[in-house]
A and B are shown apart, each in its own frame.
Chain A
Amino acid sequence: MTPHAQKAAIFNKDEVRTDWHDASLWMVRKKRDFAVSEIPEWEFLREFASDIKMHTLSKLDDYLELFEKAAIQNGATVHWAEDAKEHNDIVLTILNKHQAKKMVKSKSMLTEECHLNEFLERHNIEVIDSDLGERIIQMLNEPPSHIVMPAIHLKKEEIGELFHRELHTEKGATDPQYLTEAARHHLREKFHTAQVALTGVNFGIAETGEVVVCTNEGNADMGVHLTPVQIHSMGIEKLIPRRSDLAVFTRLLARSATGQPVTVFTSHHRNPKPAGEMHIILVDNGRTEQLGKPDFRSSLKCIRCGACMNTCPIYRRSGGHSYETTIPGPIGSILTPGIDLKKHGQLPFASTLCGSCTDVCPVKIDIHTQLYKWRQIVSEAGLPEAGNKTMMSIMGNGLASPTFFHRLGNIGRKLLRLFPGKERFLSFTVWTKDRDLPKAPVESFREWYAKQAKDA
């Protein structure tokens, strides 16, 4: 079994909880369907979004320079980071320059990818994740299990217990309204005392140098506007050429993510506040390599809505943590093998290739095709995840030779008769783990056909 399958098996031990997880995400998928049904031009928007992103990728160097120029003109400072380490060093340098010891952060998958929190904590900086879900998992010392709903795997009883311990809420209290209120008070204090705020970026606009951040809670803006120094960490693929392109993307993003017609706040940050500082860090960290892979470069169109996770039958029933990547689910499974084939090469196999991810993707990434293509690469690299090699080679030979196939069928039917119901005698293949073997037929089709021919 692959590490993902092992983790998924553990997740599935609690059947009630697995069903609950599955249903929660399916509910979000249904909300998405409703929101999409209200937009007659939805399919055109997907096509435009895809083309705008592909165009940007085809001129990414030009657009990055354009963006940098505009941002500098606005009064922002632009930094370039080749990898996670350089990104983290830049953040630390900014913090040190201001002798800052406390930083509030709003949701950013990029900083998860860079493991920024751990790095800063090692340098005695207190990092406070300010999105409610992110704060919860930060207190639990867990990674997010979903890119939009980081604490989707947790029950309110567990969060109630955690808040009782950390925020001194009443013991046994589980009401989400009450718990959210407690977090509001806790975080408002942090916003007022932090010296630096860091956010992720949903869209960077090349022609204006603006960064656009989409949130529902208002936490990103609380941080950015209350602290003197604001930092925006941005993957280089987040660029779009024109401000008007935001119309396409804001219409697609929230509807795909949570089924809302738009996020509550769509903030356009262009220049620093009076006497403030604004830093934008442009991060590569493997993106330029992915750009060089013709079969996989379109994965860089991703706008991180999470729709592919909500719809994926494997994700819904295995949980985000089973993927052991920053970005789990179908999109994570095509983004991460390029970073570390040995470690993540197993993930393209965590799929039924049903194609539902591709159907819901707002920027038309052919996710399931790329999953299939990664499987070919993993197999050619001879990695053990490439399915059940022994079984595959027996099957391959068997199906290629009629005589051998005939004999194999005979042996199979005999075995089935000798060990009826003993489905686990094939336990070396995971195939029979959850499947019963059929009853052995009296004769094969070929034997039956031969008899018919004789009788006629």
Chain B
Amino acid sequence: MPSKETILTKIKANRPNLWPLPDVPIFETLATDKKKLFIQILERGGSKVHCVDDSTQIHQVITTHFPENKRMVSALPFLEGIEGITTLHPDFYEGTEVAIIEGLIGVAENGALWVTENELGDVRVLPFIAQHLVMVISEKNIVGTMHEAYKKLGLPTTEGFGVFIAGPSKTADIEQSLVIGAQGARSLLVILTP
């Protein structure tokens, strides 16, 4: 008998009586100011947050944060054509020092930002391989909890890959000492637009 059938037969023989599946309510955050909580949790996790009044200021914020001429790659259409920023191309992302991408949903309770391969120009590795990561998100897209986030996400449609990113990559594998910049991005700058 093929393994699939063996396993399924064993489960049928051994499984417990039907246990009801609970309906999980959409728990909301108690925080009155979701934006404030989002910023606070991000900073606690080692990220930097910068609020701008409109998207024309984004370029300025980025160049202030990365004054040296680093190789910057952007997946944001409105940054196209700006000097010093390369538009993302699937065959041309190696050596990216700063990747600039858009976050679709921000979660206040844990500082996580949702991004899919659509925002990554199909370069799934981009937010991991870049030395530094910049994520731009509108404060309208901040929700309180993961329940609200998944409600907003619904089921995947076109995207084959999606990820919540909640800060720069980190490790505490050596004596529980926190080191920011493990194997992915060394820093995360979140730019909040209105």
Task: For the complex formed, measure the closest distance between the CB of A11 and the CB atoms of chain B, giving whole angstroms.
Answer: 17
Give complex CA distance A271, B161 in Å.
Answer: 7
Measured between beta carbons, the chain B residues less than 8 angstroms from A168 are none
Give complex CA distance A263, B110 in Å.
Answer: 9
Query: Nearest 10 CB-CB pairs, A to B?
Result: A218-B184, A292-B14, A133-B173, A225-B125, A261-B110, A271-B160, A288-B10, A217-B182, A262-B110, A218-B169
The answer to whether the Cβ of B81 comes within 8 Å of any Cβ in the partner chain is: no
Give complex CA distance A127, B45 in Å.
Answer: 32
A297-331 at interface with B (beta carbon < 8 Å): 297
Task: For the complex formed, measure the closest distance between the CB of A31 and the CB atoms of chain B, giving whole angstroms.
Answer: 10
Asked if B181 and A222 make an inter-chain contact with CB atoms under 8 angstroms apart, the answer reads: no
Task: For the complex formed, measure the closest distance between the CB of A74 and the CB atoms of chain B, giving whole angstroms.
Answer: 7
* 15 A-B pairs whose Cβ atoms sit less than 8 Å apart in the complex: A58-B18, A80-B4, A151-B174, A176-B179, A181-B181, A208-B155, A243-B150, A251-B110, A251-B145, A262-B110, A262-B146, A264-B165, A265-B184, A266-B112, A268-B161
Pick from B22-30, B54-62, B71-79 the stretch touching chain A.
B22-30
Measured between beta carbons, the chain B residues less than 8 angstroms from A155 are 175
Interface mask (B89-120 → A, CB under 8 Å = 1, otherwise 0): 00000000000000000010111100000000
Residue from the set A27, A74, A179, A265 with the largest chain B CB neighbour count within 10 Å: A265
Give complex CA distance A172, B73 in Å.
Answer: 38
Give complex CA distance A23, B128 in Å.
Answer: 33
Pick from A59-67, A336-344, A371-379, A433-441 the stretch touching chain B.
A59-67
The answer to whether the Cβ of B12 comes within 8 Å of any Cβ in the partner chain is: yes
The answer to whether the Cβ of A81 comes within 8 Å of any Cβ in the partner chain is: yes
Asked if A288 and B7 make an inter-chain contact with CB atoms under 8 angstroms apart, the answer reads: yes
Task: For the complex formed, measure the closest distance between the CB of B99 and the CB atoms of chain A, giving whole angstroms.
Answer: 13
Interface mask (B121-139 → A, CB under 8 Å = 1, otherwise 0): 0101100110000000000
Asked if A219 and B24 make an inter-chain contact with CB atoms under 8 angstroms apart, the answer reads: no
Asked if A52 and B22 make an inter-chain contact with CB atoms under 8 angstroms apart, the answer reads: yes
Residue from the set B129, B145, B173 with the largest chain A CB neighbour count within 10 Å: B173
The answer to whether the Cβ of A244 comes within 8 Å of any Cβ in the partner chain is: yes
Asked if B163 and A58 make an inter-chain contact with CB atoms under 8 angstroms apart, the answer reads: no
CB < 8 Å neighbour of B128 from A218, A268, A274:
A218
Task: For the complex formed, measure the closest distance between the CB of A24 and the CB atoms of chain B, giving whole angstroms.
Answer: 5
B146-194 at interface with A (beta carbon < 8 Å): 146-147, 149-151, 153-156, 159-177, 179, 181-185
Asked if B160 and A149 make an inter-chain contact with CB atoms under 8 angstroms apart, the answer reads: no
Asked if B15 and A59 make an inter-chain contact with CB atoms under 8 angstroms apart, the answer reads: yes
Asked if B161 and A269 make an inter-chain contact with CB atoms under 8 angstroms apart, the answer reads: yes
Contacts known (A261-B110, A268-B161); A151 close to B3, Cβ less than 8 A: no
Q: How many residues of B contact A (CB 8 A)?
A: 69
Give complex CA distance A294, B19 in Å.
Answer: 13
Closest A residue to B10 using CB positions: A288
Give complex CA distance A278, B148 in Å.
Answer: 30
A85-107 at interface with B (beta carbon < 8 Å): 86
CB < 8 Å neighbour of A55 from B19, B112, B160, B168:
B19
Give complex CA distance A218, B130 in Å.
Answer: 11
Contacts known (A40-B30, A221-B125, A272-B160); A288 close to B174, Cβ less than 8 A: no
Measured between beta carbons, the chain A residues less than 8 angstroms from B112 are 262, 266
The answer to whether the Cβ of B21 comes within 8 Å of any Cβ in the partner chain is: yes
A27-57 at interface with B (beta carbon < 8 Å): 27-28, 38-41, 44-45, 47-48, 51-52, 54-55, 57
- Consensus secondary structure, chain B interface: loop
Measured between beta carbons, the chain A residues less than 8 angstroms from B149 are 247
Give complex CA distance A224, B163 in Å.
Answer: 13
Measured between beta carbons, the chain A residues less than 8 angstroms from B21 are 51-52, 55, 241
A164-185 at interface with B (beta carbon < 8 Å): 176-177, 179-181, 184
Task: For the complex formed, measure the closest distance between the CB of B101 and the CB atoms of chain A, giving whole angstroms.
Answer: 14
- Name 15 extra pairs, CB < 8 A, besides A176-B175, A177-B177, A180-B181: A39-B109, A48-B24, A64-B8, A80-B4, A81-B3, A132-B171, A176-B174, A207-B155, A217-B182, A222-B128, A247-B149, A251-B145, A262-B107, A264-B167, A288-B7
The answer to whether the Cβ of A210 comes within 8 Å of any Cβ in the partner chain is: yes
Asked if A267 and B163 make an inter-chain contact with CB atoms under 8 angstroms apart, the answer reads: yes
Asked if A208 and B22 make an inter-chain contact with CB atoms under 8 angstroms apart, the answer reads: no
The answer to whether the Cβ of A72 comes within 8 Å of any Cβ in the partner chain is: no
Asked if A216 and B169 make an inter-chain contact with CB atoms under 8 angstroms apart, the answer reads: yes
The answer to whether the Cβ of B13 comes within 8 Å of any Cβ in the partner chain is: yes
Asked if B164 and A265 make an inter-chain contact with CB atoms under 8 angstroms apart, the answer reads: yes
Task: For the complex formed, measure the closest distance between the CB of B15 and the CB atoms of chain A, giving whole angstroms.
Answer: 6
Asked if A273 and B160 make an inter-chain contact with CB atoms under 8 angstroms apart, the answer reads: yes
Asked if B173 and A288 make an inter-chain contact with CB atoms under 8 angstroms apart, the answer reads: no
The answer to whether the Cβ of B67 comes within 8 Å of any Cβ in the partner chain is: no
The answer to whether the Cβ of A246 comes within 8 Å of any Cβ in the partner chain is: yes
Task: For the complex formed, measure the closest distance between the CB of B45 and the CB atoms of chain A, giving whole angstroms.
Answer: 7
The answer to whether the Cβ of A2 comes within 8 Å of any Cβ in the partner chain is: no
Give complex CA distance A152, B175 in Å.
Answer: 6
Give complex CA distance A247, B174 in Å.
Answer: 30
Measured between beta carbons, the chain A residues less than 8 angstroms from B64 are none
Asked if B17 and A58 make an inter-chain contact with CB atoms under 8 angstroms apart, the answer reads: yes
Task: For the complex formed, measure the closest distance between the CB of A184 and the CB atoms of chain B, giving whole angstroms.
Answer: 6
A271-292 at interface with B (beta carbon < 8 Å): 271-274, 282, 284, 288-289, 291-292
Closest A residue to B117 using CB positions: A273
Measured between beta carbons, the chain A residues less than 8 angstroms from B7 are 64, 80, 82, 236, 282, 284, 288
Asked if B166 and A261 make an inter-chain contact with CB atoms under 8 angstroms apart, the answer reads: yes
Asked if A260 and B179 make an inter-chain contact with CB atoms under 8 angstroms apart, the answer reads: no
Asked if B160 and A74 make an inter-chain contact with CB atoms under 8 angstroms apart, the answer reads: yes
Asked if A261 and B172 make an inter-chain contact with CB atoms under 8 angstroms apart, the answer reads: no
